[in-house]
Structures are given as C-alpha cells and as structure tokens.
Structure 1
Amino acid sequence: MLIYNANVVCLNDLIEQGAVYIQNGRVNRILSHQELDSFLLKKPDLYSVNAGGAWLIPGFVDVHVHGGNGYDFMDATEESLLGISKFHAQHGTTSMLATTVTSSKDNIEKVLKSVASFQEEIQPFAQVIGVHLEGPFISPNMPGAQNPNYIVPPNVNWMKEWTEIYPNIVKILTLAPEADHAIEVIEYSLSQGIVIACGHSDGTYEEILRATEAGLTHSVHMYNAMRGFHHREPGVAGNILVNEGLSTEIIADGEHVHPVSIQLLTKLKNKDNLLLITDAMSAAGLGDGTYNLGGLEVVMKDNVARLKEGGNLAGSSLTMIEGFKYMVNTVGLSVSEASKLASYNPAKLLGLEYEVGSIREGYQADLLLLTKDLEIEKVWKRGELIEF
C-alpha cells in the first residue's frame, strides 16, 4: 500500500507532499514528492491512498491509561481489554499499557494474568504491550484518587512473585521512592527490565535524588499527586524539573495542569523527556454520571472526573488525540513536536523506539491520518486499516 500526498511527520523531518510505501506491515520506503512518479512506474498496480494534503503521523503510545467507554483494566476480563483497546484505537492509540490502580494483591494479580492471556490472542485494535503498575506502593500522604485502604509499603517479595509468574508483563512500576524498602524494590525491578517511576510521592528533593541514583528514571502525571515546588525545598516537582535523568508525563486536558505550567515543562525538558498520556478512566467516552475507580465512587461532570468524597481529580476522560490537539492549539507546540511527545518519547521509555513511535523505514507501520484540523481520518496498525 502507498499513502501519498501527505505531510509525513518523521522524527527529525517533515516531508511535505510525501508518501509512505508499506509492505508486510512495515514502512518500506519514505518518498518525497519528486521521487513518487518514478516509484509508481515500477509499481503500476499498487493500492494507493490519496491523503489530500493531510498529516501522516505515527500512532500514539499511551503508557498510562486505566480504561475507557465503561471498561476498566481492573475488570481483568477479555471483554474489557478489547473494549478499552478499541475505544482508544478510535482516538489514535496503537500501543498502550494496561494501567492498574492501588488495589488488593489478588486484584492486581488478576490484571497481570488477564494481560498475559490477552497477549496470546490476536489483538485487532490497540496493542496492549504490558502492564503499568501504578501502586500499591505509594505514599498515604499523596493518594490522589487511589484507594488509601490498599496502600502498602514497597514489597520486593511481591515483585519477585509477579515477575516470576508473569515474566515481561510489568513494564512500568510507579511507587513513592521515599517509602521504606523502596530502594530495594527499585533495584530488583530494574534488574527485571522494569521502568521505575516516581508517583503519588511526598518525597523530598534529596530522597528523589537518591532514588534516581538507584535506578529511578521516570515520573507520572507531572504536578499531580506529588510534593510541589518550594523555593527552600524543591520537592518532587523541583527534582523532576531540573533532573535530566528523569522523564515525566503530562495530562493535557486543561483541568489537571495550567497551560503555562505545561509550557514551562516543555522548555525545561526540551521535549525529549516529556510524554503525553491520557490517565483515562472508564468514564472516558461517556457522559456525566457516577463511576467506579478502584472501589471509589467517581462523579463525572462536564467531562471532568472527581472523587465523590473529597473531590480529588480521578484520572481523566481524555483521549490521546484530544491531548495532542491541546498541546498544539493551546500550549503552542508544532505538530511534529506534539507527535514526539505522544509517540516517540513513550516508545523510547519502553525501549521500543526502534520498532514503533516514529515513521522510519523498517519500522512497524502504525500510522494515523489526520485532517488539517487534526481530526482522525484513518488508523493503521501494522499496515492494516483498523475497522471500527
């Protein structure tokens, strides 16, 4: 298949009126407008898609998403996994991590088992490439919308058990690095190839620094559920802002973080260590109403989800395409810059940057065709058009 007459967004280049030739589910050639005619002479019967001057960008990689369209990954069923992956694929996500919430050990194990089984099936929508454990090893001082009844200190025996029974399933572990035994868990999890993330943390600047030295490399939903910046104690937020060894995430929905704070983040992280996520919960895609998150009641009103008790923001109703548009239209990034945050940087975090997350020859053909107004026209995964 050939997609032509597109603004092709590559990692370090924008090819106007370019074309992408796909073969066996991978990008075989990237062509300029000048190269197209001679290429077509060699393949006169090639199936072609005229992009009409639209944007062609890599599929989104969401490393922090809890659910959508009424489904939650904590349901731990094939129906929910299919429902979530279909919903988010409709909004441009082609790869995702099933993200847990702080819950019982038994419930977390059910999620690990369900994802391990799901990976053995044909996945027609977004690819569920593993699990992001958000909790239960978080700070009781910074629960956010996590259920405080299930918060426990970091437990290396649990991590050993989970990685032995479900090898290569856990891709990210979010914990409070200041907690007792956190360094031990960080060092063990790192040895298993797991990305260690700071989140729901009340740690000091120095505590986060020590965790970074032990192997912490990432942080979740910047500014939210973390000790904030103070000029005499920079806290978690201050460490992330200046620490080049830490990447971080942003929920770009206009509710979680002020756009100026996001602009500051893009300047300090130079757009290399910043990831766009949804943190979407089951209410994403649905209307106002009452929902459940980790056993806690959540009220959705005007697309904003908050805990019924206490009023804390509870995940989001965001999709990746809406976050992408917010980064372009409100924060002021270019389409190419926003694409890096939504696709390449998340893939790089997971060590998948040579497979997905950018449009390059030899890479998996996970592609989105966007109108000039950044609305999704088509979604391809491994070169196959996803039918919804």
Structure 2
Amino acid sequence: MTVLANARLVLPNAVQHGWLRIDDGRIVGLGTGDPAHGPGDPALSAGASDLCTAAPDSGKAARDFSAGASGRGPGTPGRRQGSFDLGAGSSGHGADSSRLGAGASSSGLGSSSLGGGDSGRGPGSPRAGVGGSDRSADGFSSPDEADVLDLGGRYVVPGFVDMHLHGGAGHSYQSGRAEDARQVVKFHRAHGTTTMTAGLVTGSTDEMINAVSSLAELASEGLIAGIHLEGPYIAVGRCGAHEPSLLRDPDLSEFRRLIKAGGGHVRMITLAPELPGGLDLVRAAVDEGVVAAIGHTDGTAAQVKEAFDAGARVATHLFNAMRPLHHREGGPIVAALNDPRVTVELINDGVHIDTEVARLTFTTAGADRVALITDSMAAAGMGDGSYTLGVMNVEVKDGRAMLAGGTSIAGSTITMADGFRRAVTVVGVPIEDAARSAALIPARALGLDDRIGSLEPGKKADLVVLSDDLEVEKVMKDGRWS
C-alpha cells in the first residue's frame, strides 16, 4: 500500500491539503491533514473537513519526494529523504489563490467539504465516497505495510484523459503499426495523460480497416482506451487537414466493417450529420455503443440539433472545422453550447481558438461540459519541420502545424498538461474545474467515469503530481509510477 502525504489534492469540487491511500492499483482512501494523525488532531487545518474515520498511521517515516520540498530541510524530525528525485524542490505554497479556485487557500489548506456536491458527474455516475465521513474502501492492506511518500505540498490531479489525439514524439496512430502506437502512448503518458484514444483521420476503406484492426489489439491490451474515427464521413467544405478526395457520404455497410474490424474497440466516430445518411449513421453508432460526435460539419443549428436528438453527444473540437457562429444562424456552435446533453471538445493551445473564446466557452457551457483535448499529431514533443497527418503533408513552425502550402491548421503540437496548465494560468479557470475538463468530463463522454477521471475511492490510481507551476513531475498509472 502507498500513501501520498502532504499533497494538495485536486478533487472534483475543491482543492484539499491531505493524503491519498493507494492499494492494488486503486484509490482506497483519502483525507485531510497529516496521515500520521487521526481526525481532530491539531495537525488538521482549521475548518478542514475530516474525510476518513481513521487516518493511515503506517508507523513508518514518510519519504520526501525531493530534498528541500515545501521548505523542510533534510533533517526535519519524523521525515527522511526519499528515493524519488523530482527536480527542484517545490515550496508547496507558491500558487496564488486564483489558480486554486473555490475551497482552497494559497497555502493549499482547503476548508470546503467534499460531501454533498455532485458537480462534474453525469447522470448515473458513481458517487463513491461522497456524502459521508468515511472515505476509505474495503479490502486495503494493513496500515503498517504502507509506504508513505511526502509530496511536499505538490498538487495531485487525476490522470489526464485525452479523447482526441493522433500522435506524438514523431509517431502517428495512422500507420497502424504497434510500435508507433506504443511510442505515442509513452510520450503522452510521460506528460500526464494516463488514458487516451487512438485517433484516425480519413483514409481509404482498406487503410482504415487495417489500422483499426491493428489498434484493436492494443486496445485489448489496455494500452489505449479505444479508437476514434475522425472521418471519413465529413463535409468537404470543412475538411480541415483531411484529404478531400477520400471523403465520402455515410455508408452503413462500410461503417459496420470498421466496427467489426475494431472488435468492440471503436469508441467514437466524428461525422457531419447534414450529409445524406448522416442521421442514420448517428443512430447506427449509438446502437453499436459508439459515441457519435458532430464535427467537420457545415450543418445548420437545426440539422445538428437533429443529430443530438438522434443520440450524438459530443461536438468535436468546437469552433474548428465547422460552420462559424452567425447571429442569424448559430450553426453547430450554438446548437452544441445550448444542449446540456452535449460535451464540447476544446483545443486550448492558443492557436486553434483565442483565449477569450476559450473563456467564453467555459462560462457558457461550464467545466462540466468542456472536455480539453490535444488533437495532437506526430510533431507533438518534436521540433519544427516536415511531418504527415494521414496522407497530408504538414509543416510545423514555432510549434504551429499547418498543411504544407495551405492555410488549414493540421492538429496541434501540445500535450494535455499544456492545455490544462494554460486553462488555469491563462484562461483563468479554477484548477479543480480545469482538472474536471481534463479528466472527468472526457472520461464521462467515453463512458469510463466509473473507473477513472477523479480522485475518488474505488477508482483506478491514475494520477499526476504537479509542481506549483503546474509542471508534470511524476505520473502514476494503475498504482505504478511511470
């Protein structure tokens, strides 16, 4: 069993200074204050809510993540320097209150209760550990077996969930090669993304079927959370970085071949609902358990609303590659923002959308409906130069990916950590809201929020340790440090 102590826990509705207990790859308890003390101990911050009936007194000295963390010297009583070197020591107090959001002070000692609130959860989502004082789960190891790690006041956020990406570190999912996919996952996981889909852009029928079949094997291994088909049933006039000659109208026969090749691992499909047969394909996707997403569309607000009524539940990278908003015809943007059933994806890189537009989206839809995504391509984590996205040639300059010789943006070069950090520090989203949009909301959109997306007992121990500046310092997947 592992206990992460002296952490600023970014929970769905608040930031709390406390500890997190992990056993057998899952979160089994969390609480405020010092894990060496029980509830009501003076070590608890004034007014902080007790989250456990008993804190895990391991009988062991805690290991510091790095010497000098949170202002403590290596000789502080009751602590010994640990083996994790996470770089420069964090003070544990540097973030200002605007970044912490409601329920937390700049010292990380939150006072808001975790009970009661249910924000960030969709209908029917689990409420493990919410509403009562006992925040532990059954079946954890004896406390005296715990390895207590002192995080020195660092943030702990749920592992990021990216429901829309295509590549990274010079590799792409489009190739269908297992090694390429593994390198993409390795790169993004190092930057805090513990769950991700594999996004494919438009290709020929055979190319897409072969790629889906190959990626399905990796999904069976648990390497990826499924496959996202971005195309081929999208509008030519809003195709973005897709090859126009390969686009086609929705074809139920072809779609079913793709579904069969995926062996149950096709998780989402993006399409333009105004195309002939578009609504039928939305219904077919829903019947197959596939998330239907509206994107790369020139549809009117009424046409897109029909798709939502037919079961579509996601708007793919809102604002990008879709009919723009007009005061006499709101188009897909207004239809999506006005529909409480719909999750809207947002590429928060400062390139795809303006900061004020990002702020407007959070204000209008709320963090409970915004899913931060990367839409990253092979150039993520790489330098400027020439790359490909599907069959399209892409030039990257100053981190901005554009179709070679064209004006269309061709995906991003960011990580989820970049988009999350920018949401907090530039857009001004409270950190707990940004964490929901980077983890719980995409997990909910993919139907995975019963097991990932938030720091709650019973969920997988997928988490990220962040510095005061919200830089990734350590990543845990399934209870193991990556």
Q: 1:85 aligned to 2:181? A: no
User: Which residue in the other structure is 1:384 paired with?
Assistant: 480
C-alpha separation between the residues in 1 aligned to 2:456 and 2:431? Answer: 17
Q: Do 2:337 and 2:344's aligned partners in 1 also have CA atoms closer than 8 Å?
A: no
User: Which residue in the other structure is 1:305 paired with?
Assistant: 401
Further displaced range: 155-164 or 168-177? 155-164
C-alpha separation between the residues in 1 aligned to 2:34 and 2:387? Answer: 54
User: Which residue in the other structure is 1:212 paired with?
Assistant: 308
User: Which residue in the other structure is 2:21 paired with?
Assistant: 21
User: Which residue in the other structure is 1:356 paired with?
Assistant: 452
Q: Give deviations 1:218-266, integer Å, cap 9, x for gaps.
A: 1111111000111111111221222222211111111110111111100
User: Which residue in the other structure is 1:365 paired with?
Assistant: 461
C-alpha separation between the residues in 2 aligned to 1:34 and 1:288? Answer: 46
Q: Give deviations 1:83-135, integer Å, cap 9, x for gaps.
A: 000000011100000000011111111221111212344x6xxx401001000
User: Which secondary structure does the structure 1 equivalent of 2:450 belong to?
Assistant: coil
Shift of 1:44: 3.8
Further displaced range: 39-48 or 161-170? 39-48
User: Which secondary structure does the structure 1 equivalent of 2:285 belong to?
Assistant: helix
Q: Do 1:71 and 1:83's aligned partners in 2 also have CA atoms closer than 8 Å?
A: yes
Q: Do 1:228 and 1:238's aligned partners in 2 also have CA atoms closer than 8 Å?
A: no
Shift of 1:34: 5.5
Shift of 1:35: 5.5
User: Which residue in the other structure is 2:422 paired with?
Assistant: 326
C-alpha separation between the residues in 2 aligned to 1:173 and 1:78? Answer: 21
User: Identity over the aligned pairs, expressed in percent?
Assistant: 35
User: Which residue in the other structure is 1:244 paired with?
Assistant: 340
Shift of 1:45: 4.7
Shift of 1:357: 0.4
C-alpha separation between the residues in 2 aligned to 1:116 and 1:212? Answer: 27
Q: 1:185 aligned to 2:281? A: yes
Unaligned 5+ segments in structure 1 are: none
C-alpha separation between the residues in 2 aligned to 1:199 and 1:298? Answer: 21
Taking the TM superposition and a 5 Å limit, the aligned residue runs for 1:9-48 are 9-16=10-17, 18-33=18-33, 36-38=36-38, 39-40=56-57, 41=59, 43-48=143-148
User: Which secondary structure does the structure 2 equivalent of 1:37 belong to?
Assistant: coil
Further displaced range: 39-48 or 224-233? 39-48
Q: Do 1:19 and 1:36's aligned partners in 2 also have CA atoms closer than 8 Å?
A: no
Paired amino acid for 2:31: L
User: Which secondary structure does the structure 1 equivalent of 2:454 belong to?
Assistant: coil
Q: Give deviations 1:38-74, integer Å, cap 9, x for gaps.
A: 4215734521211100000100000000000110100
Q: 1:138 aligned to 2:138? A: no
C-alpha separation between the residues in 2 aligned to 1:23 and 1:70? Answer: 35
C-alpha separation between the residues in 1 aligned to 2:225 and 2:34? Answer: 38
User: Which residue in the other structure is 2:265 paired with?
Assistant: 169
C-alpha separation between the residues in 1 aligned to 2:295 and 2:220? Answer: 30
C-alpha separation between the residues in 2 aligned to 1:316 and 1:150? Answer: 22
Paired amino acid for 1:23: D
| Matched length | 381
* Aligned equivalent of 1:228, options 324, 329, 342: 324
Paired amino acid for 1:104: S
User: Which residue in the other structure is 1:5 paired with?
Assistant: 6
Paired amino acid for 2:423: M
User: Which secondary structure does the structure 2 equivalent of 1:262 belong to?
Assistant: helix
Q: Do 1:138 and 1:201's aligned partners in 2 also have CA atoms closer than 8 Å?
A: yes
C-alpha separation between the residues in 2 aligned to 1:47 and 1:2? Answer: 6
User: Which residue in the other structure is 1:201 paired with?
Assistant: 297
C-alpha separation between the residues in 2 aligned to 1:282 and 1:6? Answer: 34
Unaligned 5+ segments in structure 2 are: 39-55, 60-141
User: Which residue in the other structure is 1:113 paired with?
Assistant: 213
User: Which secondary structure does the structure 2 equivalent of 1:31 belong to?
Assistant: strand
C-alpha separation between the residues in 2 aligned to 1:57 and 1:165? Answer: 35
Larger radius of gyration: 2
User: Which secondary structure does the structure 1 equivalent of 2:164 belong to?
Assistant: strand
Taking the TM superposition and a 5 Å limit, the aligned residue runs for 1:275-290 are 275-290=371-386
Q: Do 2:212 and 2:261's aligned partners in 1 also have CA atoms closer than 8 Å?
A: no
Shift of 1:167: 2.9
Query: Whose helix fraction is larger, Structure 1's or Structure 2's?
Result: 1
C-alpha separation between the residues in 2 aligned to 1:325 and 1:12? Answer: 18
Q: Do 2:216 and 2:227's aligned partners in 1 also have CA atoms closer than 8 Å?
A: no
CA RMSD of aligned residues (A): 1.3
Q: 1:259 aligned to 2:355? A: yes
C-alpha separation between the residues in 2 aligned to 1:147 and 1:91? Answer: 30
Paired amino acid for 1:66: H
C-alpha separation between the residues in 2 aligned to 1:70 and 1:114? Answer: 19
